[in-house]
Amino acid sequence: MKKILICLLLSAGDAMAQRDYPIQPVAFTQVKVNDNFWAPKIKVNADVTIPYTLAQCRKTGRVDNFLRAAGKLPGDKLTEFTFDDTDVYKVIEGASYSLQVQKNPELEMYLDTLISYIAIAQEPDGYLYTFRTVKAAKPHDWIGAQRWEKEEDLSHELYNSGHLFEAAVAHFQATGKRTMLNIAIKNADLLVRDFGFGKTERFPGHQIVETGLTKLYRVTGHQQYLDLAKFFLDVRGPGKKYSQEYNQAHKRVTDQHEAVGHAVRAAYMYTGMADVAALTGDEDYLHAIDDIWHDVVERKMYITGGIGATGAGEAFGKAYQLPNMSAYAETCAAIANVYWNSRMFLLHGDAKYVDVLERTLYNGLLSGVSLSGDRFFYPNPLASMSQHQRSAWFSCACCISNMTRFLPSMPGYIYAQDKNNLYVNLFAGNTASIQLPVTKVTLTQQTNYPWEGKNEITVNPAKPAAFTLRIRIPGWAQDHPVPGDLYRVQDPVFKKIPLLLNGEPYSYKTEKGYAVIDRTWKKGDKITIELPMKAEKILANEQVKDDQYRFALERGPLMYCIEGPDNLDSSVQNIVVDRHAAVSAVFKPLLLNGVTILEMKGASTKRQLNSDELVHSTQTVTAIPYYAWANRGPADMTVWIPYEASAAKPKPAPTIASKAKVSASLGNQRMFKALNDQYEPADAKDNNAPYLHWWPKKNSLEWVQYDFDSPQTISSASVYWYDDGPWGGCRIPLSWKLYYKKGEEWVAVKHTSPYTITKDKYDTVHFEPLTTTALKMEIQQPVEYSAGLHEWSVK
């Protein structure tokens, strides 16, 4: 197999030289962020999110999992998912990062307690997986009779190990204590004994152990951990029971050139491939992930940097399949996309990877946590009809704990170095201390980014020294929002970004997207760069059908959306803005913790009862940063704004059904609005708007009910069924029947037409006129499937 030469790095304190990335990140512990944007968010994570998530891990039983497995608590019933242990690991990782930035003795003591629980749950040979160790009378369905038996499917044993390793390294580096590191080493040594060619030849069902092992290798220098990480990649491929696109095992990893399957698993795997390629010099890995990167960025990425278009398998869709309202764009996938693009930059030194990283960071990732730090998104859609709300917790809490561990490490993406080349990748007010071979350098950024484009970078070397400063010129600042042609600026104008050195214009050369300044630096040297903060209209490639006749708004690194609270009638799906309309930017210090909003002239339409004529209104359309949406409750929202009326949806006129109160035989009230939102589905499986369903319940009698705001005389009802066959879990029902409320009793309507059940169209039943305050529908679900509804109208 071909090899490439990747530089040898001797890190301080390492006992051995090892091959690694040619470019190395400047650790976040060396960068003190002090700006008005990121510093408050990192503080909220430390003060609110970490304590909140630790408390939820206690409250939901995740901490007790370890105590039950150790026999310190009675009972063998653990939490819902076999990967719930990783939430504890990830919060320990995030808390450890936080400790590296700000000492907190109380938090450190609590981590010591958690780690002691993990230690006693570990079996003598190093195995650590509470769901098996607890020896439940009725084991979880996802675990096999023997260790690793269902690893390629759902057990998540190696996924748990991967997050354990990452947390252990973070805790060791933060505190110097080996308590969790020793647990991780003991577990890793077990994996080395059990797995390998000629031993247990299974691949991880959910990737992450690969990056965990490379981190453990870097800390310990134990070659077997790197070898095992490479084995877990090389053993993937066709011919095994669970080899499929969903888990990226349909081909050998070096034969994969397109992004397919579960987006989080995929991006974690690509990150692991980059790590192993850097540490081993395997060129075939690089060819594969280079091709996959182009496939994602040029065909399968949202303008927010989100990846994973469909909730079916939380997966990448086909090329240019990027629906907005049903976009999955999981928070975990955004975090994984940052990890992956960071590694791609460290391999290649090209600013285009940081362009994608920054876009994801400020938009599709940051949207995953509320401004308050205690409400979260799992998917991050690009449009909503009020059905999306931030949640206090998810039973599958991976996105919450992942956000908790990511935010404290954000400063580690600002700078990087390669010998005497010093990279400035991100713009944020900070002071950094960086050791170059020629001298130690203190860099200070003063900026109000992302609201303003001016940045002053003061360079203070310990002694006059010659080195190269490479300052990233963002693609968005040169009217290239992303590499490739998936998205483009409507009216591009090439502009050379001016740069001043000590107050004088400086003519710089550009290499791989960086302004290169190669000189002998002295204390107090100052670079001033001013990036253009003009609001730009972004258009999508014409093959993205969901974005046709629409534009998105971008200002600096931020994407914008229009949201109900800021616009007429709290509606946005009915808004049209001329594609050449002027856009003004206004900073609002009291709105959403301080944001720059965008304003433009637009128009909106709404329907009237008993008339085909639309009511037209002109209005000032207001847009807010996408990351800040849904912080004022559920609301209408869209990122892609229609510039032609055909792409907008007039606000419906109020009807009997739309004004009714909905109740149903299911607990998720978020789905109730779907029944009477008057959205016209394209077909039975249309998931671009809300729908109501009873999945995963099957073969049961269910009901939905309208309570009217006053007695209504009605004589017909129509229903449009949700059916996501052949792959989904919902089908049209076996039967349905209507009842009306008469006094305190429910009485069947006297229907004058049959109850039809058809797909992809409305079923209407007529009945003798009646006056009532409530109408109920009973639905018999199929034997092997659930049922669902798009719309239920009443006349």
Model confidence over 607-623: pLDDT tens digits? 887 777 889 999 999 99
End-to-end Cα distance, the chain: 71
Which residue shows structure tokens 């000590």? Answer: 502
On the 0-12 / 13-18 / 19+ scale of CB atoms within 10 A, 610 is exposed
Which pLDDT band, with edges at 50, 70 and 90, does 4 fall under?
very low
How many beta carbons lie within 10 A of that of residue 23, not counting itself?
18
Q: Which of 67, 90, 71 is nearest to 79 (CA)?
A: 67
Q: Mean pLDDT for the chain?
A: 95
One domain for residues 429 and 312: no
Q: Please calculate the CA angle 474-541-586 and round it to the nearest 5 degrees.
A: 50
Cis amide linkage into residue 498, ω under 30° from 0: no
Q: Please report, for the domain that includes residue 522, its CATH number.
A: 2.60.420
Look at residue 25 and tell me whether its pLDDT is greater than 50. Answer: yes
Confidence of residue 690 (pLDDT cuts 50, 70, 90): confident
**CATH assignment of the domain containing 676:** 2.60.120.260
Residue pair 669/626 in contact (Cβ under 8 Å)? The answer is no
249 within domain boundaries: yes
- Kindly indicate the confidence band of residue 453, based on its pLDDT and cuts at 50, 70 and 90: very high
Residue 414: per-residue pLDDT: 98
Q: Determine the residue type at 653.
A: A
Please check whether residues 581 and 599 belong to one and the same domain: yes
In a domain, 33, yes or no: no
Q: Any idea which of 203-217, 455-469, 482-496 has the lowest mean pLDDT?
A: 482-496
CB atoms within 10 A of CB 294: 15
> Residue 205 pLDDT more than 90?
yes
Residue 9 has what pLDDT?
A: 31
Predicted confidence at residue 728, as pLDDT, reads 86
Give 402-431 pLDDT, tens digit per residue: 999 999 999 999 999 999 999 999 999 999
Domain shared by 563 and 501, yes or no? no
> Cα–Cα distance between 515 and 99 in angstroms, integer?
35
CA distance linking residue 319 with residue 515, whole number of Å: 33
Nearest to 568 by CA among 603, 600, 598: 603
- Boundary residue ending a domain (235, 268, 283): 235
Do 260 and 395 lie in one domain? The reply is yes
Cβ neighbours around 269 below 10 Å, total:
31
Of the two residues 368 and 682, the one the predictor is more confident about is 368
Residue 31 is inside which H or E element, if any?
Answer: strand 31-33
Q: Provide the b/e sequence for 383-407 (b: ≥16 CB within 10 Å).
A: bbbbbbebbeeeeebbbbbbbbbbb
Q: Which domain holds residue 320?
A: 1-8+240-404
Q: Say whether pLDDT at 1 is over 80.
A: no
* Residue 369 in this model has a pLDDT that exceeds 80: yes
| pLDDT value at residue 532 | 96
DSSP 8-state secondary structure symbol assigned to residue 650: P
631: closest CA among 376, 342, 370?
370
Please report whether residue 27 resides in a domain: no
Residue at 21 is within a domain: no
Residue 32: enclosing H or E segment and its boundaries?
Answer: strand 31-33
H or E segment at 40? Answer: helix 38-44
Q: Angle 398-406/331-348 helices, nearest 10 degrees?
A: 40
Task: Give the Cα separation of 559 and 160 in Å (integer).
Answer: 35
Q: DSSP readout, 302-368?
A: -TTS-B--BTTTTB--STT---STT----HHHHHHHHHHHHHHHHHH--HHHHHHHHHIIIIIIGGG
Question: What are the CA-CA distances from residue 430 to residues 45, 421, 426, 773 (Å)?
Answer: 18, 19, 11, 62
Output the CA angle 682-683-686, nearest 5 degrees: 75
pLDDT band at 311 (very low <50, low <70, confident <90, very high): confident
Q: Is 39 helix (H, G, I), strand (E, B) or coil?
A: helix
Q: What is the mean pLDDT of residues 210-225?
A: 98
Within 10 angstroms of residue 184's Cβ, the number of other Cβ atoms is 31
Q: Are 269 and 248 in contact (CB under 8 A)?
A: yes
Of the three residues 182, 208, 235, the one that is the final residue of a domain is 235
What is residue 49's DSSP assignment? I
* CA atoms of 498 and 185, how far apart (whole Å): 51
Same domain, 431 and 400: no
Q: Are residues 76 and 206 in the same domain?
A: yes
At residue 705's C-alpha, the angle toward residues 702 and 709, to 5°, is 175
Bridge partners of 393, per DSSP, are: none
Q: Give the residue from 202, 220, 235 where a domain finishes.
A: 235
Grouping H, G, I as helix, E, B as strand and the rest as coil, residue 239 is coil
Q: Name the amino acid, one letter, at 567.
A: N
- 731-764 residue pLDDT tens: 999 999 999 999 999 999 999 999 999 999 999 9
Confidence of residue 671 (pLDDT cuts 50, 70, 90): confident
Helical spans, DSSP H, in 195-299: 209-220, 223-234, 263-280, 283-299
DSSP reduced 3-state for 48: helix
For position 509, what pLDDT does the model report?
A: 97
Decide if 23 is inside a domain: no
Task: Check: CB of residue 96 under 8 Å from CB of residue 171.
Answer: yes
The answer to whether residues 156 and 259 belong to one domain is no
In a domain, 443, yes or no: yes
228 and 246 belong to one structural domain: no
Same domain, 526 and 545: no
Q: In the prediction, which pLDDT does 10 show?
A: 30
Judge whether residue 17 has pLDDT over 80: no
Mean pLDDT value across residues 28-52? 97
pLDDT at residue 740, rounded to an integer: 97
Identify the CA nearest to 551 among candidates 513, 577, 523, 514.
Answer: 577
Q: Please state, in angstroms and rounded to a whole number, the distance separating the CA atoms of residues 13 and 265.
A: 33
In this structure, the answer to whether residues 610 and 681 fall within a common structural domain is: no
Per the DSSP assignment, residues forming a β-bridge with 566 are none
pLDDT tens sequence across 329-357: 999 999 999 999 999 999 999 999 999 99
Amino acid, res. 551 = F
Do 250 and 206 reside in the same domain of the chain?
Answer: no
pLDDT at residue 16 above 70? no
Asked if 255 contacts 234 with a C-beta cutoff of 8 angstroms, the reply is no
Give the C-alpha separation, 451 to 441, whole Å: 28
What whole-number distance in Å separates Cα of residue 673 and Cα of residue 376? 21
**Do 760 and 674 share a structural domain?**
yes
Q: Which tokens belong to 278?
A: 């850097």
Total domains in the fold of the chain = 5
The answer to whether the beta carbons of residues 322 and 302 sit under 8 Å apart is: yes
Amino acid at 50: I
List, in sequence order, every residue forming a beta bridge with 468; answer none if it has no partner: 421, 518
Largest Cα separation within the chain, whole Å, is 93
pLDDT at position 663: 95
- Is residue 263 scored above 70 in pLDDT? yes
